[in-house]
Amino acid sequence: MGIIIRLDRMMADRKMSLNELAKELEMTNVNLSNLKTGKMKGIRFETMEGICKALDCQPGDIFEYQPTKE
């Protein structure tokens, strides 16, 4: 996978649990966990905005691109 999800790191830096973030975003823990582990195929801009607001960060703080080796 070329996209690395750094949501765990941002949550740890902000001392915010998965349950707290899910509650603030009005998301289920399962959906947020799926996002954290990369099991989701996409994310809505509204959700990204909520995450960035809750964690006081930029989208680039959460996602990183690493080219896959062929």
- Residues 43-60 have pLDDT tens digits of 999 999 999 999 999 999
- pLDDT (tens digit, 9 = 90+) per residue, 7-45? 999 999 999 999 999 999 999 999 999 999 989 889 999
- Please tell me what DSSP assigns to residue 60: H
Q: Which CATH class is domain 3-65?
A: mainly alpha
For residue 66, pLDDT over 80 is answered with yes
Domain map (residue ranges) of the chain? 3-65
Q: How far is CA 61 from CA 47, 49, 58, 65, in A?
A: 15, 13, 5, 11
pTM across the whole model: 0.86
Side chain identity at 41, as an amino acid letter? K
Measured at the CA of 48, the angle between CA 9 and CA 61, to 5 degrees, comes to 35
For residue 1, pLDDT over 80 is answered with no
